Structure 1
Amino acid sequence: MTPEGKALSNIVILGFGFMLMFTAFQTCGNIEQTVIKSLNNFTASGYTSMSIIYGVFSASNLVAPSVVAVVGPQLSMFFSGLLYSAYIAMFIQPRVWSFYTASVLVGFGAAVLWTAQGNVLAINSTDTTIGRNSGIFWALLQFSLFFGNLYIYLAWQGHDHISEKDRQTVFISLTVISLIGCFLFFLIRKPDPSEPTPSETSEAPLHTESTDSASVSGPPRRSLCTQALDAFVKACKLSVTKEMMLLCLPIMYTGLELTFYSGVYGTCIGAMTRFGHNAKGLIGISGILIGVGEILGGGVFGILNNNRLGRNPVVLLGLLIHYLAFYLIFLNIAPDAPQAPEEGTDLQAYMTPNVGVALFCSFLLGLGDSCFNTQLLSIIGFLYKEDSAPAFAVFKFIQSIMAAIAFSYSNVLQLPWQLLLLVVTGFMGTLSFFMAEWGVVAKRRDSDYDSI
């Protein structure tokens, strides 16, 4: 196999591994609050759990590059995936203490997982393939929203209450799927050293540790500590660069809207009694349509990364799509839906609640999210290809801290106020992304001029 073919194969395996893991985890997050409401004498909150996860996720991103530097991206993803599986398995026989403990552990695992993912994506890409590879990975990842939610719809259709048997069957299946995804990471191979890519050359110390650790003795402890410290220092330095500061606002927006589409909106649909007895099953359909939007966006916009229009038109399209979705949700969903009890809410917003409109908004949320995330993955992979692990750690640090904040206010803030926050941060984030992209275009133009 050619070096380029091997690198593409690694990206596909990476995407399938994440697809299986997040088929389990994102389905879990989508139904979590609804399941908790069905439990007797269970005082924990799904929103609080997700807030803990993203809070720990954010803090752990400060040390995640060091962990990846010492352990290697392959093993980092595997062991982090096991923590995701443990969190899902906890719902088979839930306890408040184990629920919150697992939330802390998966928050740490998420930081290491996504930092390692960014490292693998960068070292298997070149300047010309980073856009394509980002799109392929994102599209495969978002298939995770399809399979698990389809099962939820078929299993829970017509159920007003989630029984213990329903819950255990779902979460045992999700745990097994997650574990299969973890083991797929062992199929990723080191890119061919005979024709290294620019990013591969700079990232080699981070990657070779994972593939060779079983066959050769590790480097001295001092060397490992030095690598860990260097990775931490690089992450701190990258966080205050002009480009990363400009990208902070769009990254912050993706954290807020991640919370909304992955945890809040499905809960809102399930709480709408005016949608009939199938409201709980509609949570699954909503998740499927979010996934369809993500997959479509990942496939199409990954290809568009290679055209001469740049990234800005895709991000602007994402903002307009999200604005349409937010407006329709404001009109269609009751304002108290995020905090409604298990029996749901009888209130309505400014129009007669319509299931078709609600599910169309799910598709729009996924499509708009893919616009932002594919372009952020592309621009960060391009700007920081020599320091990919620290750069993606900073990306996830910012995104996750905003997601933690959003899950915290989702417990108390009614739907119209949540939508207003998304509208404001989306507008500011888009303008900031434009400025960052214009800087990239200017640098590329100067580089082309100097090479003449």
Structure 2
Amino acid sequence: MSPEGKKLLNIVVLGFGFMFMFTAFQTCGNIEQTVIKSFNSTEFHGSGYTSMAIIYGVFSASNLLAPSVVTVIGPQLSMFFSGLIYSGYIAMFIYPYTWSFYTASVLVGIAAAVLWTAQGNVLAINSTDSTIGRNSGIFWSLLQFSLFFGNLYIYCAWHGHVHITDKDRQTVFISLTVISLAGCFLFFLIRKPDAEVSPRPDGTEPLLQTESMDGSTASSPGSGLCSQALDAFVKACKMFVTKEMLLLSISIGYTGLELTFYSGVYGTCIGAMTRFGTDAKSLIGISGIFIGIGEILGGGVFGMLNKSSRFGRNPVVLLGLITHYVAFFLIFLNIASDAPLAPEAGTDLEAFITPSVGVAMLCSFLLGLGDSCFNTQLLSIIGFMFHDNSAPAFAIFKFIQSIMAAIAFFYSNYLLLHWQLLILVVMGFLGSISFFVTEWLAESSRRDSDYDSI
């Protein structure tokens, strides 16, 4: 197999591993607040929103140290051990206790930082400037198949169930745990890409270059694991205050807010709408499927367009903003304002139109499509601009995204739906503007580089 073919295979294996893991974890996040409301135990006092706030809060705090972990043990083992912790969090729901629920939330936050930093590292070292857009799209599409399969299972398992029994819960979470573990072991199929050979400046003998764990190239080994770990941490701190990363931080922050909305809040809102009938709980699964279809379509189409587009990344991000604005407006009209905070029995209130399942599912699709627009282009531009220091760059990406997600999960415990939508509208606009400016800077840098090489 050619070196390029081996790199592409690594990306596909990476995507399938994450697809299995997040079939379990994203499904878990989508249903856990509904499951907790139905859990009949006076000893359990957990909140799904609070758990996710803890996960993303710890996630954000751990991201600046994650490159050091990836540097020391390598991206493959980093993803495997992180995946085991994800599986433990899911398994906890089989017999949940308040202490184990929140302890597992802290551990998953740490694991998530390591997992996504390692993922960004693998993506970058298996890509070039010409393939980073394609590979980002392939990975994103495979990852988002997780929304389709997991939520289809939830729909079939809970169809017609008004109340989620202990047996329903245990059956679902045992299955999800097994699926998550399968994804962990797939990471061992990823192979180190072949070293690249480049000519010496004087044109005499070739110089063998190897890619280090942070995505940089070096002709000699490092000076010890501790110094490598410290170097990775220093790089992450320095990169965080660069002009490009500060601009991108607003756009990345928006993806954290809307991640919270589509992965936790919106499904809960649909399940709380008694006007949707006895199938309201199972519609959470259908909503997740439509989100997944939007994500898969966007990841495939926009990943391929990014490979050959003459117009850059800005049109895709603009399409994502428009798509999200349409979704937010329709949700505002269709879903009762108290739905995020409704009790287990749900809400009888209406918004501005008669609640429509079709409109709700259309909004799910639009949320997924818009999310893929933002995320594929962010993965692409970060992989392009920070290719030589990919692990710290992707760690900062997840640091910003996760801290904003934690904030959003926290305020989701208290804010009515229309206030949450207003926050998303404002941040979406600001995030898009910041991305446009960063893309123009990237294109200017590329043109200058091309001019200097003539």
**Residue 100 of structure 1 aligns to a residue in which SS?**
helix
Equivalent residue runs for 1:31-430 within 5 Å: 31-40=31-40, 41=42, 42-195=44-197, 201=209, 203-206=211-214, 223-306=224-307, 307-430=309-432
Using the TM superposition, give the Cα deviation of residue 34 of structure 1 relative to its aligned residue in structure 2, in angstroms: 0.2
CA distance in 1, matches of 2:119, 2:296: 18
Partner of 1:212: none
Q: In the superposition, relative to structure 1, how do residues 201 and 365 fare at CA in structure 2: closer, same or farther (>3 Å)? A: farther
Partner of 2:201: none
CA distance in 2, matches of 1:202, 1:348: 61
C-alpha offsets along residues 11-36 of structure 1, whole Å, 9 cap, x if unaligned?
A: 00000000000000000000000000
8 A contact 2:67–2:395 mirrored in 1: yes
Q: Which amino acid aligns with 1:80?
A: S
Q: In the superposition, relative to structure 1, how do residues 195 and 143 fare at CA in structure 2: closer, same or farther (>3 Å)? A: farther
8 A contact 1:65–1:231 mirrored in 2: yes
8 A contact 1:203–1:388 mirrored in 2: no
**Residue 21 of structure 2 aligns to a residue in which SS?**
helix
CA distance in 1, matches of 2:418, 2:56: 23
Q: Which amino acid aligns with 1:226?
A: S
Root-mean-square deviation (CA), in Å? 1.4
Q: In the superposition, relative to structure 1, how do residues 6 and 148 fare at CA in structure 2: closer, same or farther (>3 Å)? A: same
Using the TM superposition, give the Cα deviation of residue 301 of structure 1 relative to its aligned residue in structure 2, in angstroms: 0.3
8 A contact 1:3–1:195 mirrored in 2: no
Partner of 1:24: 24
Q: In the superposition, relative to structure 1, how do residues 110 and 427 fare at CA in structure 2: closer, same or farther (>3 Å)? A: same
Q: Which amino acid aligns with 2:296?
A: I
- In the superposition, the TM-score normalised over structure 1's length comes to 0.95
**Residue 96 of structure 2 aligns to a residue in which SS?**
coil
CA distance in 2, matches of 1:321, 1:178: 31
What is the percentage of aligned positions where both structures have the same residue? 78
**Residue 427 of structure 2 aligns to a residue in which SS?**
helix
CA distance in 2, matches of 1:64, 1:284: 33
CA distance in 1, matches of 2:179, 2:209: 34
CA distance in 1, matches of 2:422, 2:294: 22
CA distance in 1, matches of 2:92, 2:432: 39
CA distance in 2, matches of 1:194, 1:255: 36
**Residue 159 of structure 1 aligns to a residue in which SS?**
coil
Using the TM superposition, give the Cα deviation of residue 257 of structure 1 relative to its aligned residue in structure 2, in angstroms: 0.1
Using the TM superposition, give the Cα deviation of residue 450 of structure 1 relative to its aligned residue in structure 2, in angstroms: 2.0
Q: For this pair of structures, how many residues does the alignment match?
A: 438
Q: Which amino acid aligns with 1:233?
A: V
Q: Which runs of 5+ in 2 are unaligned?
A: 199-207
CA distance in 2, matches of 1:201, 1:445: 26
- In the superposition, the TM-score normalised over structure 2's length comes to 0.95
Q: Which runs of 5+ in 1 are unaligned?
A: 209-218
Q: Which amino acid aligns with 1:6?
A: K
Using the TM superposition, give the Cα deviation of residue 445 of structure 1 relative to its aligned residue in structure 2, in angstroms: 1.3
**Residue 388 of structure 2 aligns to a residue in which SS?**
helix
C-alpha offsets along residues 400-424 of structure 1, whole Å, 9 cap, x if unaligned?
A: 0000000000000000000000000
C-alpha offsets along residues 195-240 of structure 1, whole Å, 9 cap, x if unaligned?
A: 58xxx957424589xxxxxxxxxx99x7111011000000000001
Q: Which amino acid aligns with 1:2?
A: S
8 A contact 2:24–2:146 mirrored in 1: yes
CA distance in 2, matches of 1:195, 1:268: 55
CA distance in 1, matches of 2:214, 2:450: 31
CA distance in 1, matches of 2:383, 2:167: 45
Using the TM superposition, give the Cα deviation of residue 194 of structure 1 relative to its aligned residue in structure 2, in angstroms: 4.7
